[in-house]
Amino acid sequence: MSYKVLIVEDEITLQETLAYNLTRQGYETLTTGNGRTALKLARENRPDLILLDVMLPGIDGFEVCRILRKDLSAPVLMLTARAEEIDKIVGLEMGADDYLTKPFSMRELLARVKALLRRVEIIREELTAEQGDDDQLRRSQTAVLAFGNLAIDDGRREVRLDDRPLRLKPKEFNLLQFLARHHGIALSRDLILERVWGWSYDGNSRTVDVHVRWLREKIEPDPSQATRIITVRSVGYRFDG
Ligand code: CA
């Protein structure tokens, strides 16, 4: 299935470069250089991801983001030219999911786009699973995920290493289960925090790091050279099995 990306950028050369590269990657693109048109396009087309420049004529990117957030859940990647804008994006919690500072490389942009769309995919899969029929749900709840000498038994909420049960704290189990269910995919600390600790949890991404360290001590042959729970630089973690 192809993802729809809305590109909001008033520098025409950059807008065209973005559209060209995203189309080449197989994404469907919509473009505009105007904040008001962006709102209209977003409502009519329900994009899966929005690239949003901060400095726009008319309504700026901050305002567009704030308005969009009221009825759209698609991730927003802000494109910014100045450091003080970054402070505003991070500090005001206007709902942007990520940002890139201009000038950026197309490679970096495509990597961020891919990471954000993976999040969309994971959340959709989970919603589908939650809405799926009871049988399917029961099967997924009683599944045993096996990775070499490591087995994660969802039904019994038990983890075995070399067939011996491990003592895990409830959150350690939930974290390992979440990572294992999405093995091979780099997951951001924020996403892990949201899905394992819940939306209302008041902690920060350090919580994730600490639990990963505890888990590594229990499941890695050598916790200082992790081969199961891999650190993915500037993203988070990936479970490699
Ligand atoms: Ca601009």
Lowest mean pLDDT among 26-40, 131-145, 225-239: 131-145
> What is 4-121's CATH number?
3.40.50.2300
Cα 146 to averaged position of ligand 1 atoms, centre (Å): 49
**What does the mean pLDDT of the chain come to?**
86
pLDDT of amino acid 94: 67
> What is the Å distance from ligand 1's center to 12 Cα?
9
State the distance from the centre of ligand 1 to the C-alpha of 53, rounded, in angstroms.
6
pLDDT reported for residue 140: 52
The segment(s) of the chain belonging to CATH 1.10.10.10 are: 142-239
Look at 91 and 119; give whichever has higher pLDDT: 119
The fold of the 142-239 domain, in CATH, is: Arc Repressor Mutant, subunit A (1.10.10)
Q: What is the pLDDT of residues 166-205, one digit of tens each?
A: 999 989 999 999 999 888 888 888 888 888 887 666 777 7
Q: How far is the CA of 192 from the centre of ligand 1 (A)?
A: 33
Beta strands in 114-169 (DSSP E): 144-147, 150-153, 158-161, 164-165
- In this prediction the pTM is 0.57
Give dist(CA 78, CA 208) in Å, integer. Answer: 25
Residue 205 and residue 189 in contact, taking contact as beta carbons nearer than 8 Å? yes
How far apart (Å, rounded) are the C-alpha atoms in residues 119 and 177? Answer: 17
According to the model, what pLDDT value does residue 120 have?
82
Instruction: Calculate how far, in angstroms, residue 56's C-alpha sits from the geometric centre of ligand 1.
Output: 5
pLDDT > 60? residue 163: yes
**CATH 3.40.50.2300 region(s) of the chain?**
4-121
